[in-house]
Structure formats: C-alpha cells, structure tokens
Structure 1
Amino acid sequence: MKKKKNNFSRRRFIGTSVGFAAATAVRGSSLFVGPSILESQNKPNSLIKGVQIGVITYSFRSMPDQSAEATLKYVVDCGINAIELMGDPAENYAGKPENPVNPRDYYALRRSKRAGETLSAAQEKEFAEMEDKMAAHSQEVAQWRSTVPMDKFVELRKMYNDAGVTIYAFKPRAFGMNNTDAEIDWGLRAAKALGASHVTLEHPGDDAHTQKLGSMGEKHGIYIAYHGHEQQTPTFWDTALEQSNYNSLNLDLGHYVAAGNANPLEIISSKHDRIMSMHTKDRQTPEHGKGNVLWGTGDTPITQALQLIRDNNYKFPVTIELEYDIPEGSNAIEEVKKCLQYCEKSLS
C-alpha cells in the first residue's frame, strides 16, 4: 500500500485531537473539577518547545488508588497535560465487572516467569489459580463491553479535559488475538469517545491480525499503534505499515536500545510520519546489561531524540514510561516529575 507524505503524522494527530493546543497553553489559569480529589490551582502544561511530553498512566501502577479520579490527580500533580490512558481506570469508571485477581500481584508473578525466574510451588499454584480466574473474568468483561454505552467514557474525557489533560492514546486489553471482534470494536469506539487519536497494543506478531486491526481502525478513524519490546528492529513494523495507513508505531526507544539496534535515532527519522507516540525510558545496551535505569545514566539517547523531534517539528507525543525501580523515600509522582524535568532540560 502506498504510504502518505510527510504531513501524514501532523494531520492525523491534530485532526483527532481538536482543542489540544488550547488545553496545553493554560498553565496560569484556574482549575475547577467537581471531585475534591482533583482540586488544584493551575492546569498543567508539558508542551515544551513544540514537543508534547506525555505519560502513560502505567507509570503510576505503584500508587495505592488506581481510580480514574486519582490517576488524573497524579497526572496533574506531575505537571503533565497529555496522556496515554491504560484501560482499567477508564473501564472501572464506566462500571466494568470487578476483577477477582489483584492485577499487581498477577503481573508481578507473570514478569518473574517471563524473566526466567524460578517460582516456588506455592507461587506456581497461586499463578495458575490467578490465570483461571482471569480467564473467567475476561469472558465476563467481553460480555460487558458488548453492551456498555459510551456515556461514561465521554464523561471521563470531559473530566480530564476540564482539568487540562488530553487523552491522546488508549490502551485497554481489548485488541489481542483472543479478543472478539466486538471487543475490538468497543475499544475503538471507547478511544474515540475519550478523544484519543490512537490505541496502543503489543504487536501480535500475526499478519492476519494486524490486517484486521488496520481495517477496523480505518472504519472508526482511530490509528492502531503497535508497541514492541526487545523484538523491535528497523523492519519490525514494515508488514503492518504496508497493510494499512491506519497501522502505525508506538515506538519504545528504550527497548529499542536494549535490543541492540545501532543508531536508534535513525528509526525516528525514517519512520516519523508513521509514529503515533514514542515511549521513553533509559535502558542500557546489551553490552552494558540492558538495565532499566534512572534517566541520564543509561545508553538511550533521550536528549538527542527530543532535540531531533523539536528541530524537525515532528508532531507525535513523547510518552514518559516510568519503569526503573523507584528509589527509597520517593514515589511514582516524584519520579515522573524528574523525567519531565529531564525533558525540559534537554529541550531548553
């Protein structure tokens, strides 16, 4: 399929985010939001020298309250005005059936297994029971998604927008190969109701599925941005990009470096018109251990990437993803603030 010209990214991002600039230029104005948890004197502004710095709300996974209202307060407290929203805060706000499994416990065990760590017999049993409960819950959620109206997602969008925060991407667990077409359709409709220009998901590694997602995304006018970890290469997304102009990149620059790819800035330059958003973290190269470290201490060229985006007027947002270990005595909000300060210094 023939690719569009270089204004593709600018048009698609701005076209689905009407009012974005207005929402990002009001640092000094007053803020009023109904719930007391959201009270603040100023609206945030993380548009720096033309580069939109955002955050994925996954960064706040360690915080005790995971509600939509609390998540919004975390974002505002960081001084950030644009986000990639994980599915749970939005879906729970809309009344999704309660998960019988603590997601943090489940994903902690899953990460350990993926990393090749040996689990105890009790942990293996607990993980298996969690997976059974999660599977049953997934079926219940699929049924709920098939009937839930969009009213609460529109309401959530207004709450966030009134606080000065725009949702540019939505990441529910609704676009996998095990999800029904009805769930995928729901996810795209919900993204549109939230004001997002794109949804993000792990690249499925299946050409038929990316073909289907691209077609369904085009139907709704929502872009499908595929995320990758250490399987990312310069050609990782090529088949999906050729399949549909609605298939795109959710590049992860830190994982790209940890995968051992040479010249990580080149993929930004060569594919900037197909990048919808870029996850940003500081990871080391394989030679240095692939660690996920404090910003400025690893091998990821964050400063150079930000300056490349600024100098070439690329319009996709840069998404802070907090994945390094939070130092003792700190918390996710304080660490995201540090990442934002790093961006500000890099772009000054």
Structure 2
Amino acid sequence: MEKIDKTSVSRRQFLTNAALISGSMLGASKIFGAPAIIRDLYKGGSLIKGVQIGVITYSFREMPDQSAEATLQYILDSGISAVELMGDPAETFAGRPKNPIDMRTYFPLMRKRREKQPLTEEETKKLDAADAQMKEYNAEVKKWRSSVQISKFEEFAKMYKKAGVSIYGFKPNAFGKDNSDDDVAYGMKAAKALGANQVTLEHPSDDAQTLRLGKLAEKYGIKVGYHGHEQQTPTFWDTALAQSPANGLNLDLGHFVAAGNIESLAFVKKMNKNILSMHIKDRQNAANGKGNLPWGTGDTPLADVLKIMRDNKYKFPATVELEYKIPEGSNSVKEVQKCLEFCKNALL
C-alpha cells in the first residue's frame, strides 16, 4: 500500500484511493473509483441485522499515521462504517498544535499504571517525563481550543460521511476535573459538529464532576457516556444516572467480566435504555487471569450479547476496542477485520 502524500493529494483524491484499497481488500469484483460509489459500497456498512458494529479509533493506535485521512482509511479497510472518535484525528485536522509525545509509547505505560501493574524504574522515569510534557502540552491545547473554528469539525464530518462513515461518539481530552466549563463546552460543540450524539470519557469517580458534565450536556443537547474498567459494578453508574438524563453508560463488557461481575448479560438487558454505547473485547474472568485475548477464546459472552442486541432491537452501538496483543505479521486493521467477522458470524 502506498503511503498517501497529504501535501499533494486532495481529500477527494484520498477518498478515491481509499475506495480502491477497500474494494480490493474486501474482495470486490469491480473497481470503486469515486466518493459517490463509496456511499453505495458502505450503505448499511457494519450495521448487521439491526446491530451497529462500530470501532473506537484507539484500536488503530499502533498504526504509524494518525491523521484524519489515514484513520479514515483504516476504518474503511476494516469494513466498519461507524466510529467512536478519539480526539486526535479530528483535532489535528482542525489545526491543534502537534503533540510532542509519542502516544504509541505513552498509552501502554498509562494502561499499566491504571491497572496497577508494576512499572520498572525506567518505565516510571519515562512516564513521569511524559506526564510533565503532557501538562505543558495541555496548556497549549487549551489556548488553541479557545479560538478554533467549529466549522473545521463540520468539514471533518463531511469527509467521513462522504466515505460512508458515521461518527456517533467523540472522546477528546476535554472533560476532566481540571477542565473549565469552556473546555467542556468546546468538546460538546465539536462532538455535535461531528454528528456525534454522545461524548465519552473515563468515569471520573467524582459525583460533583458527573453532575457538572450532565448539566452542561443538557445545555448543549448531547449525552455523556461514562466508561469504566475493572471498577465497574452493577451500581457503578447509579449516581450519575440519577443526576441527569444526559448521563449514560459507555459500558465495557470485557472489563465488566474481568472485574468479576457474573451477570453481564442480565445487566445489559436491565440497563439497555441507559447504555449509550458498549465496548466489546474478549477478556478472561478473574478466576482465569483477566487476560485480553483474541475474540472467542476468553470468557466475555460476546456472541450472546450481540444476539441479545439483535433480538431485542437495542439501538446502542457495539464498539470494537482492539486491546489483545497483535500477532506477528498482522496489524490493527487486519485484527479489527477479524473482530468484525466474529460479529457477523454471531449475528447472521
């Protein structure tokens, strides 16, 4: 696959390239050569028997090019037609200052710290240095966000829509306790400009913060999906839900199982009206070691939950989050394709 030269190739030309590549990878029998054709190719896309399969763009974090155009190409090559968008692709497209930190190195260290895994002395030094850099960078980004034109996000959304990809969630780093109301407003306005119906973030474990976000979401006409890891319990979201009708769940079924919750399917049925989107991955339960495994080899009832969504006509999307170790010789796109194939086999 040739690397796209973004300095000489227009976005329209890029979409043509993406169509050609996607068509060949999906085994199409004819050549796809224009954005209008892509709309036909991906009509319905990864909407399978009424169940919307999406992907969080975090799944492509190992890929070398994290631009808006490259990320779109990864999504198309994966066969996915709906996304929960991390902040980077859209914000860099809109002119955000360049991040000095290699996030491909930073993400794994952050995850180890979050999951309380032991860090080596060298890893601790790297993480501390990155944290300090990130603090400075966040201050620079805050200044940029105060003046960015929301129309840039509308332009981004048009590019994705032309390729047949809808954006249902947006996850910029703008909703933390240290972020001002103006930061939060920026994130919610950008999400709406992208066409998203929800913003997502890690649950802050702070009742005042979930109240603040819920009330601001009501003001800006959007929903807030709170994501959890192994702290998820059946009552984890109760306070946030009681605080505002704009608050909801960005449930992670794999983490929910790894946390030791044994009634995951019953929980999905009970909470379906409050689930805005659900991350799907295959993790082992606590007794089996909590591993993050290729789909179909762990303890998460992925096929069963997809069938429940189909049979009960639940409207929230199931979001592929690729977190298991990528096999030698493969890459993120190929593995997301496998995850989508798993979903198709479960639903058809």
| TM-score, normalized by the shorter chain, greater than 0.5 | yes
Tell me, in whole angstroms, the C-alpha distance in 1 between the residues paired with 2:119 and 2:79: 40
| Range moving further from structure 2, 41-50 or 329-338 | 41-50
Identity %: 56
Quote the residue 2:8 is aligned against.
none
Please tell me the residue identity of whatever aligns with 2:346: S
TM alignment of 1:303-342, pairs within 5 A: 303-342=303-342
Correspondence for 2:23: none
TM-score normalised per structure 1: 0.88
Q: What are the residue-to-residue correspondences of 1:274-313 with 2, within 5 Å?
A: 274-313=274-313
Name structure 1 gaps, 5 residues minimum: 1-31
Q: 1:38 is matched by which residue type in structure 2?
A: A
Q: Report the counterpart of residue 13 of structure 1 in structure 2.
A: none
Q: Within 5 Å, give how 1:72-151 maps onto structure 2.
A: 72-114=72-114, 115-120=116-121, 122-151=122-151
RMSD: 1.3
1: distance between equivalents of 2:111 and 2:250?
Answer: 21
Which residue of structure 2 lines up, in the alignment, with residue 38 of structure 1? 18
- Give how far 1:38 is off: 3.1
Q: Secondary structure at the match of 1:273?
A: coil
Query: What is the CA–CA distance in structure 1 between the aligned matches of 2:303 and 2:91, rounded to whole Å?
Result: 35
Aligned-residue offset at 1:131: 1.5
Runs of 4+ in 1 over 4 A off after TM superposition: none
Once residues 47 and 108 of structure 1 are traced to their aligned partners in structure 2, the CA distance between those partners, rounded to angstroms, is 31
Deviation at 1:233, TM superposition (A): 0.6
Change (3 A) 1:204 1:333: same
- The aligned amino acid for 1:96 is R
Check whether the contact 1:37–1:69 (CA below 8 A) recurs between aligned residues: no
Distance (whole Å) between structure 1 residues aligned to residue 111 and residue 304 of structure 2: 31
Contact 1:48 1:344 in 2 (8 A): yes
Take 1:323 and 1:259, find their aligned partners in 2: how far apart are those partners? 16
Residues of 2 paired with 1:334 and 1:126: CA distance? 30
| Structure 2: distance between partners of 1:328 and 1:138 | 35
Residues 255-274 of structure 1 mapped to structure 2, 5 A cutoff: 255-274=255-274
SS in 2 for 1:224: strand
Partners of 2:151 and 2:18 in 1: CA distance = 21
Residue 303 of structure 1: SS of its match in structure 2? helix
Count how many residue pairs are aligned between Structure 1 and Structure 2: 316
Structure 1 residue matching 2:303: 3-state secondary structure:
helix
Change (3 A) 1:68 1:37: farther
Separation in 2, partners of 1:264, 1:72:
32
Aligned to 1:214: 214
CA distance in 2, matches of 1:343, 1:276: 19
5+ long unaligned stretches in structure 2: 1-10, 21-31, 33-37
1:52 alignment partner, SS class: strand
Partner of 1:91, secondary structure, is: helix
Structure number with greater CO (CA < 8 Å, separation at least 6) is 1
Does the aligned pair in 2 maintain the 1:33–1:39 contact within 8 Å?
A: no
Asked whether the 8 Å contact 1:53–1:340 carries over to 2, the reply is yes
- Residue 37 of structure 1: CA displacement? 4.8
Q: Distance in 2 between matches of 1:123 and 1:77?
A: 34
SS at match of 2:272: helix
**Residue in structure 1 matched with residue 245 of structure 2 by the alignment:** 245
The Cα offsets for residues 171-207 of structure 1, whole Å up to 9 and x where unpaired, read as: 1011011111111000000000000000100000111
Could you report, residue by residue, the CA deviation over 1:107-151 in whole angstroms, capped at 9, with x for unpaired residues?
A: 23333344432322x443333222211101101101111111111
User: 2:110 & 2:277 partners in 1: Cα distance?
Assistant: 26
Residue 239 of structure 1 aligns to a residue in which SS?
helix
Match of 1:64 in 2: 64
**d(CA) in 2 for partners of 1:288, 1:125:** 32
- Measure the CA separation in 1 of the matches of 2:154 and 2:240: 30
Instruction: Give distance in 1, aligned partners of 2:12 and 2:310.
Output: 32
Give SS of 1:99's match: coil
CA contact (8 A) 1:253 1:264 kept: yes
Superposed CA deviations along residues 276-324 of structure 1, whole A, max 9, x for unmatched, are 1000000000000000001000000001100001000110000000000
Deviation of residue 106 (structure 1)?
2.1
Q: Relative to 1, partners in 2 of residues 1:227 and 1:291: Cα closer, same or farther, differing over 3 Å?
A: same
1:154 partner letter: E
